Structure 1
Amino acid sequence: MTARSPYNGPSRKLVIAFDVGTTYSGVSYSILDPGQVPDIKGVTRFPAQERVGGDSKIPSILYYDKDGEVRAVGAEATREEILEMAEDEGWTKAEWFKMHMRPRSIPVSDIMHTMPPLPPRKTVVDVFADYMTYLFNCTKTYIKDTHASGGDLWASLESRIEYVLSHPNGWEGGQQGQMREAAIQARLVPNTHEGRARIHFVTEGEASLHFCIQNGLTTEAMKTGEGVLIVDAGGGTIDLSAYRQAPSAKSYSFEEIAPPQCHLQGSVFVTKRAEAFLRELLGNTKFAGDIHNIRDAFDKNTKPTFRNVVEPQFIKFGSVRDRDPKLNIRGGQLRLLGTDVAGFFEPSIDCIVRAIQEQRAASRHTIPSIFLVGGFAASDYLFTKLKASVEPLGVKTCRPDSHVNKAVADGAVSFYLDHFVAVRVSRFTYGTTCSTTYNPSNLEHVLRSPTIFTSVSGGKRLPGHFSIILPKNTQVSETQEFRESYCVETIDRSSVEEVTSTIECYRGTLDAPHWIDTDVGMFSTLCSVEANTSQISKQLQPIRSATVLEGRRRLQVYYKIQFDIVLSFGLTELKAQIAWMEDGEEKRGPARVVYEPEVVA
């Protein structure tokens, strides 16, 4: 475990991390007192919770009534009386709702389309907000009940809590924006610049690294300067992140050494494959109405205890009267072959093994150690199969002895306190689409000559040029800036008092794509950067030029504005500024990053 420095802030502060998982969620927090070394605590008591303690976890489940009001959340939503009430009164269950926030860029299998839908008239932001409200209230009650003068403590800190929200490696700015809106809707923070700034984001992979460092798991593995691979196997996603300790670092500082990965192959997909098997086996039998209950029994009991393909597996779902030998059902239990259950796991395990191989191949350094964390990591079968697959490659696989489900929540608080990672790797190639001056000696230009247009200044230009700002697989420090220079010509000066620049993301395999028509379908809009350029536009002077329009020579008066968009890609959230020259000195102003809402089917 690393030695954490005392908090040097001017006043007491409370940091809360919400790990909203696909199947289970957790909360960790830290109270920061000036001059004191902060420690990380977990919320270990929730309403209707069966087991109380450090290994606690809360189901990510909500029930809504017909009016769209929340009626039960978390462990309460699994009680027998709630299940009966939900059925009698027509409530709608919201489970695995996190999957509805996934980016469209992450490939999905056919089984993804069988995920439970969102409740009627509810968006994924609505459900997230309701669930965050629940987590907030539970955290409030826990802190007030467990700390000395807890009520006064909470009252003094509630209006300035810093929140850390974790998310899968594959979630991007659009998903961060949705999570921030959910936090505002849940009234965690006000919808002001200051309030929105109190929401921080960290990937689940990076949070897991912080957890491993703080628990001393990476110390031995990183002594030689080699890398470690964090595999966060959760309910919905498998997140892979590779790091090593930065050379000659005076304190604990780590750098990412390969682009992080995210795959939709978490433990819920094992359950969904089991459900598909059950529907095929029982769909036309008298047990068809029990399929959902059998699936849940498999998920709760059979899946986590499965260890080998030799022994038969049993799913207990009914009474001793439930019997059909032809279907291997006796005494209310369905008997499955171990090989059948192994088949439910196989695609997820294969995905993880391939991803590990890809991470090691993409890394700039050797990776001899893997740390498996997350709720899915508790599966002995998963752990055993992974070890057998990667140990012949000279890779050692480890997992924490306990509390694998709290790694992300604890690690998210550690991210805020310790900030170990200073260098990250770009997952894709980022740039902008713009026009470029036509060059008749360039074959690529000649091929696109039918698209030539004349600018207001009279020059011949080609559209569709992709100007690269940040190439894929580039190590980026948190302080490193990337610039893109802009020159906009217009006949209307008022039209450039505000400008918008679109940041594009290239997800293909080309090293340096320069035209958006070279790999159609691999370019997508990441976000727009909006900036107020009124200060620059006021200084613009009219420019006169001669242009040829419809065969006639005419004088054209226009304005030209020049500025830079400055981007910071090395943070856990994209930041932007605008820069311009004024009286020989660079000036800067804020720019707003705007993400288009994604509609996921």
Structure 2
Amino acid sequence: MDFNKLSTDERKIIVGIDFGTTYSGVAWAETQRPDRRVAITVWPISKTNPEGESSDKVPTKLRYNNGEPEWGFSIPMNTPPEDIIEWFKLDLDPSLQSMGTAVTSAATRGGRDVDRLVTDYMSALGEHLMYTLREKLGEGVVNNTPLEFVVTVPAIWSDLAKDKTKQACQKAVGLSATKSPIHLISEPEAAAIYALHGLDPHGLKVGDSFVICDAGGGTVDLISYTITSLKPILEVQEATPGTGSLCGSTFLNMRFAKFLKAKLGKVDGFDDEVLADAMERFEKTFTMNARDNDTYTIPVGGLANNKELGISRGRYALKASDLRIIFEPVVQEVVKLVKDQISASRVPIKAVLLVGGFGASNYLKERLRGAVESSVQIMQPPNAWLAVVQGAVMKGLAQSAPEQLTVVRVQNRRARKHYGTEWRVRYDERLHGHLRHKRHWCGLDGCWKVYTMEWFIRKGDAVSENEPFFTRFVWTGPVAQGHIKKIRMDIFADRTVRDAPLARDDNVSMLCHVEADVSHIPEGELQRRKGTDGQWYYELNCKIEAVYLSASTQYTLLYNGMRYNSVTAEYV
């Protein structure tokens, strides 16, 4: 395959951003060298030293110093914990409930605006990215090559939370300065693209199915895929709608902090600094390096030797039983999610692929191995911590030149909920008797009408990026009110497990307002009809086209054979 056949105007720099709860990662590739994906591994420790810390990822932390944001490794080591803002990603979707654990992030405690926090963090990340690209490729290449961003989001997030992430990226100084397109991809899908590409192809057969378990800092996302083709590229389709929960390594960290305070909180010399050092070691070891956890010590510098408590030479020894106390409730939640995903799949599951920072934990791997059928393999692909960001770059490359750069293609996804719109239909006592109290008189047609749901996607339906969904509707309005400026339509969703209902009820919630600007359509092209009440009405036969992508939706209005792409979607 000759990647240099890409013409100069097709060449791009694809950037993947894995914005995580505890750590974030950035990787990039040039479309003419797609096999060379580069992860940023050097991070600033101050404004004057942009290359002071080596790490595969950077902490998702902020501190405001006289109003100026400091981020990641540039936050001084001696900063009091109460001044550090972390875990603020979880505040983007307050609708998610964790496993009974109240997560009050520092962002909420400080009363800060989560949208501003995400924008400030993304600005810093973007500025460091641009610095790195200029250092690696040169000013000229960076200035003359278009960039495209692929940002990952949890699959279990609401559409509003995903949209807020995209808006924050669009406002971020480091990203918006390039005026580049920003695409969203779900974290488990990105991880799947990377992990499946890296697997030994000899072990895979068409028809085999896998669960991808992306266990990160805050969220654990699961999706099952079935292999539909191995050549010329690996193609998969979702076997069942994804599931997930808030039960990532952040919750382990919280339990560890609580455990340590209970054990050592009264010991002379134990303070926030000792706790912070111990937390950092615990987090790095158990969510990034899958080490044996039977005998494990953590630094508690400055604490006197205490044989009874297990403190010796500035180290505190954790017993296996201590680790079980900390790990079990969180691990049990992940095990339950995996087992539920396996049983919900309509096909036999051959393997579970563990990715993400928490996915690298040996403890989690062994617990899963003992909890599922022996016929199901538990696999940890190499570099599981970077799977999401690497997969994001691969997805971006595939979008840029589908025929040349695609390595793994997700053919179909499964809809996670029912999607539909609400339209007026002629009232029929047999069908709508239970809605009699909601009927109303229509002056145009001279009859009773009632609002019912028009579902264009039902939960579990296969949805593909290449096959849009269409919903027809008739937009009416009195001519006396003047020329139509905007056609507005509301999209609703129902997440429940029931069949899609006939009419909207309390379980059907507003997803977004879709609005198309039609003010420029000449008056003569707007269809009209005289109503039974003698008034003239506009009557526009329209279609809305919806394309469901990995983590977002594109809407287009079709009227009179014309496409109106200037459709805005406002999520609620």
TM-score of the two chains, using structure 1 as the length reference: 0.83
Spell out the pairing of 1:489-508 with structure 2 (5 A cutoff): 489-491=476-478, 492=480, 494=482, 496-508=484-496
Contact kept? 2:22, 2:87, Cα under 8 Å: yes
Pick aligned residue for 1:471 from 448, 458, 470: 458
Shift, 1:415, TM fit: 0.8
Post-superposition shift, 1:397? 0.8
Match of 2:563 in 1: 588
Q: Which residue of 2 aligns with 1:60?
A: 60
> CA separation of 1:461/1:277 partners in 2, compared to 1, >3 Å: closer, same or farther?
farther
**Aligned letter for 1:526?**
L
Q: What SS does the aligned partner of 1:21 have?
A: coil
* 2:234 corresponds to which of 246, 249, 252: 252
The residue type paired with residue 154 of structure 1 is V
In the TM superposition, what is the alpha-carbon distance from 1:596 to its structure 2 partner? 3.3
Between the aligned partners of 1:485 and 1:129, the Cα distance in structure 2 is 38
Q: Secondary structure at the match of 1:114?
A: coil
Which of 39, 42, 48 aligns to 1:42? It is 39
Partner of 1:208: 191
The amino acid of 2:389's aligned partner reads A
Distance change in 2, residues 1:91/1:114 (3 Å) = closer
Which residue number corresponds to residue 123 of structure 2?
133
Q: Secondary structure at the match of 1:246?
A: strand
Q: Which residue in 2 is equivalent to 1:175?
A: 161
1:62 to partner: Cα distance: 1.8
| Equivalent in the alignment of 1:416 | 396
Provide the C-alpha distance between the structure 1 equivalents of 2:280 and 2:447, rounded to a whole number of angstroms: 65
Gaps of 5+ in 1: 548-554
Deviation at 1:381, TM superposition (A): 0.9
Residues 76-95 of structure 1 correspond to what in structure 2 (within 5 A)? 76-77=74-75, 82-84=76-78, 86-87=79-80, 92-95=83-86
Aligned letter for 2:68?
E
After superposition, the Cα gap between the structure-2 partners of 1:238 and 1:44, relative to the gap in structure 1 and judged at 3 Å, is same
Structure 2 counterparts to residues 170-569 of structure 1, below 5 A: 170-190=156-176, 195=179, 198-215=181-198, 217=199, 219-247=201-229, 250-278=232-260, 285=266, 290=271, 293-294=274-275, 297-301=278-282, 304=286, 311=294, 314-321=297-304, 325=308, 336-392=318-374, 394-401=375-382, 403-418=383-398, 419=406, 420-442=409-431, 445-457=432-444, 458-463=446-451, 465-491=452-478, 492=480, 494=482, 496-517=484-505, 520=506, 522-534=507-519, 535=521, 538-540=524-526, 542-547=528-533, 555-569=534-548
**Where does residue 29 of structure 2 map in the other structure?**
30
1:96 to 55, 71, 87: 87
Counterpart for residue 149 of structure 2? 163
Is the 1:23–1:235 contact (alpha carbons within 8 Å) kept by the matching residues of 2? yes
Q: Cα gap change, 1:19/1:7 in structure 2, threshold over 3 Å: closer, same or farther?
A: farther
TM-score, with structure 2 as normaliser: 0.86
Aligned residues: 551
Contact 2:15 2:28 in 1 (8 A): yes
Q: Secondary structure at the match of 1:117?
A: helix
Partner of 1:552: none
1:162 Cα deviation after fit: 1.0
Structure 1 distance, partners of 2:111, 2:367, is: 42
Instruction: Please tell me whether the aligned partners of residues 213 and 353 of structure 2 are also in contact (alpha carbons under 8 angstroms).
Output: yes
Alpha-carbon shift at residue 138 of structure 1 (Å) = 2.5
Amino acid at match of 2:563: R
CA RMSD of aligned residues (A): 3.1
Aligned pair partner of 2:557 in 566, 569, 578: 578
Give the secondary-structure state (helix, strand or coil) at the position aligned to 1:260. strand
Deviations 1:351-392 (A, max 9, x none): 222222332333343220111111112221111111121243
Check whether the contact 2:215–2:357 (CA below 8 A) recurs between aligned residues.
Answer: yes
What secondary structure, in the 3-state scheme, does the structure 2 residue paired with 1:377 have? Answer: helix
SS in 1 for 2:511: strand
Tell whether the 8 Å contact from 2:247 to 2:333 is kept in structure 1 after alignment: yes
Whole-Å separation in 2 of the counterparts to 1:502 and 1:292? 51
Match of residue 10 from structure 1: 8
**SS of 2:101's equivalent?**
helix
Give 3-state SS (helix, strand or coil) of 2:106's partner. Answer: coil
Change (3 A) 1:155 1:448: closer
Output one character per residue of 1:126-183: Cα deviation in whole Å (capped at 9) or x when no partner: 2222222222233233333344xx23333333xx211111111123432333223222
Query: Quick one: structure 1 residues 388 and 479, their matched pair in 2 at CA, closer, same or farther if it must change by over 3 Å?
Result: same
Change (3 A) 1:472 1:108: same
Contact residue 103 and residue 172 of structure 1 kept, 8 A? no
Tell me the residue number matched to 1:551: none
Task: Give the residue type in structure 2 aligned to 1:74.
Answer: G
Corresponding residue number in structure 1 for 2:20: 21
**1 CA distance for matches of 2:466 and 2:269?**
58
More off after superposition, 274-283 vs 9-18:
274-283
In 2, distance between residues paired with 1:580 and 1:556? 23
Counterpart Cα distance in 1 of 2:7 and 2:223: 31
Checking the alignment, whether the CA contact within 8 Å between 2:150 and 2:393 is kept in structure 1 is: yes
Q: Rate the CA distance shift 1:506–1:272 in 2: closer, same or farther, 3 A.
A: same
1:555-586 superposed Cα distances (whole Å, 9 cap, x missing partner)? 444332221111112454201111123xxxx2
- CA distance in 1 between counterparts of 2:179 and 2:83 reads 32
Asked if structure 2 preserves the Cα contact closer than 8 Å seen for 1:58 and 1:75, the reply is yes
2:124 is paired with a residue of what secondary structure?
Answer: helix
